[in-house]
Amino acid sequence: IGQRINIDKNAPPEVPYWIPYLGSAIAFSVNPLKFYDDNRKKYGDVFTYTMVGRKFTVCLGIEGNNFVFNAKLADVSAEESYKPLTTPVFGKGVVYDCPNHMLMEQKKFVKWGMSNDAFRAYVPEMEEETRQYFQRWNNKTGGRGDLFKAMGELIINTASRTLMGPEIRALMDESVAQLYHDLDDGFQPINMFFEWLPLPSYFRRDNAHVQMRNIFKQVIDERRANNVTDKTDMLQSLLNQTYKDGTPFTDVDACHLMIALLMAGQHTSSTTATWALLHLAQNPHLIKELLDEQKDVLGSLDAPLTFDAMKNMTLLDNVIRETLRLCPPIIMILRKVIRPIAYPGTDYIIPKGNYIAASPIATQVDEQFYKNAKAFDPHRWSAIVEEETGETVDYGFGKIAGGGARNPSLPFGAGRHRCIGESFAYVQLKTVISTFLRMYDLSLTEKGMPGPDFTKMFVQPVLPVEVNYAPRK
Ligand code: HEM
């Protein structure tokens, strides 16, 4: 018998389920978007489903996004939702293993390492990394390449060369890449639910965490011993920071925050790069337009890329914006309810202990906001004037445009937990994509466009992702 245990009459409607404890876990993990769509038709924008003994109240639509992203600190907690997953990987004292006001300050510390001056220095380094990487592909005759693998390796190489510091990049080919993989294996959806299981991957993860921290610590110690002060990378910006109340941000805190940033930027950017190139492979006219744009902006396809020139590559920007609209790597954002909370405009009271979930992809593919919403059309963005209220809100980590949480496209989230890596991600993606396109033409194989794999922490294309490539004359 399908269960519907709704003792509280003001609780939002619940999706019935057949298997106790597991609840809707299977239907949800096969295709969360279909699951949301089907149930939205029955219950409206706000409903609760059970998964592995926990209740999730999803809040769809513009108002749902706004409700979750701007929920009050006294009502909901991001730490309570993400901590079991993130603390063993990142380490203690940072991100979700500290009070929210400390996270807000950590986000401010990080902003120093993402200035325009830093980006000016990063772009030539990223271009060089990309060129060197793709020399490995067959640049005489072309062939078939594993795009997902390439983007994964390239994003970690470019991020470590720039944000993480050259010392980390130098270790990438030997120790860091393997440590990263071990950490990553311990950063899967299953870890949110079964943190107590004695899985071998947890031992590898814990071991990798300690080794990774030691590597960062050694780099910091060497920089201190040599009085290094001329570095523009993020690691340098995290040294000698102090919280407003005088508490020092220690070197170990800096190591943990560096690991967090490595993890936060890796899959998000590498899957976005992969999807973007797949969409381009499917739309050769866009590749031609992008190369024309590069010629227009730089004068020639041989001219080196610069951060300032890339600002004028509007179509390239829009390709990334459109990729993130259709294929955002994060499709569920969670907060745990710590005090019963009323959902505006309804009688619903969401009980303490539930998780509230936002899924901005729902509005991103909604015809109400985007005509022909399922089509990949970067040009649509030149006609969309993003709503500017003029008002700004300071959530504690710097001012951001007000009304942000009601924008139908929110791949970087909104509110106090909004992403701080957006501008870095754009610089990195634009450099990698434009450099790749100058070197190679690409097209889909006979397998066509891969579908999404929802079982991973960050939605990625179903593997393997191969493309045909041919050197550009
Ligand atoms: C937060 C997406 C790249 C660091 C977030 C959130 C989203 C997101 C949706 C909000 C999470 C929430 O509200 O629970 C993305 C996407 C990226 C990307 C789509 C690339 C295409 C990066 C990069 C970095 C980064 C490159 C760092 C180098 C962070 C941090 C937070 C965050 C520190 C804040 C977490 C918090 O305050 O709770 N990101 N991100 N992200 N992201 Fe990103």
The whole-number pLDDT of residue 390 equals 56
Distance 95 CA to ligand 1 centre (A): 11
Does the pLDDT value for residue 172 go beyond 90? no
Distance 96 CA to ligand 1 centre (A): 13
The whole-number pLDDT of residue 195 equals 76
pLDDT in tens, 93-128: 999 999 999 999 999 998 877 889 999 999 999 999
Does the pLDDT value for residue 330 go beyond 90? yes
Distance 416 CA to ligand 1 centre (A): 11
Average pLDDT over residues 346-359: 96
The phi and psi torsions of 443 (rounded to 5 degrees) equal -150, 160
Residue 328 contacts residue 22 (beta carbons within 8 Å): no
Separation CA 143–CA 469 (nearest Å): 6
The whole-number pLDDT of residue 179 equals 86
For 20, 131, 189, 244, the CA distances from 86, given in Å and listed in that order, are 27, 33, 11, 25
pLDDT in tens, 385-440: 665 555 666 767 676 655 478 889 999 999 999 999 999 999 999 999 999 999 99
Does the pLDDT value for residue 5 go beyond 60? no
**161 DSSP assignment:** I
Separation CA 331–CA 425 (nearest Å): 18
Q: Which residues line ligand 1 (CB under 6 A)?
A: 78, 103, 163, 261, 264-265, 268-269, 272, 324, 328-330, 333, 411-413, 417, 419-421, 424-425
Does the pLDDT value for residue 301 go beyond 90? yes
Distance 87 CA to ligand 1 centre (A): 16
- CA-nearest residue for atom 5, ligand 1, is 419
Sequence-separated (6 or more) residues with CB below 8 Å from residue 146: 464, 465, 466
Specify the DSSP element, H or E, that contains 259: helix 251-282
Report the residue among 409, 419, 426, 460 best suited for mutation to probe ligand 1: largest number of ligand atoms under 8 A from its CB. 419
The phi and psi torsions of 292 (rounded to 5 degrees) equal -60, -40
pLDDT in tens, 13-34: 999 999 999 999 999 989 999 9
- CA-nearest residue for atom 1, ligand 1, is 419
pTM higher than 0.90: yes
- CA-nearest residue for atom 39, ligand 1, is 419
Predicted ipTM of the assembly: 0.99
pLDDT in tens, 48-94: 999 999 999 999 999 999 999 999 999 999 999 999 899 999 999 99
Residue 147 contacts residue 278 (beta carbons within 8 Å): yes
- CA-nearest residue for atom 13, ligand 1, is 417
Least confident of 138-142, 195-199, 268-272, 444-448: 195-199
Report the residue among 359, 412, 416 best suited for mutation to probe ligand 1: largest number of ligand atoms under 8 A from its CB. 412
- CA-nearest residue for atom 21, ligand 1, is 269
pLDDT bin (cut points 50, 70, 90) of residue 3 is: very low
146 strand-pairing partners: 466
59 strand-pairing partners: 46, 358
Cα dihedral 243/246/251/256 (nearest 10): -40
- CA-nearest residue for atom 35, ligand 1, is 417
DSSP secondary structure string for all residues of 78-126: HHHHHHHHHHHHH-TTSTTSS-HHHHHHHHHHHHGGG-HHHHHHHHHHH
Separation CA 61–CA 346 (nearest Å): 14
The whole-number pLDDT of residue 460 equals 93
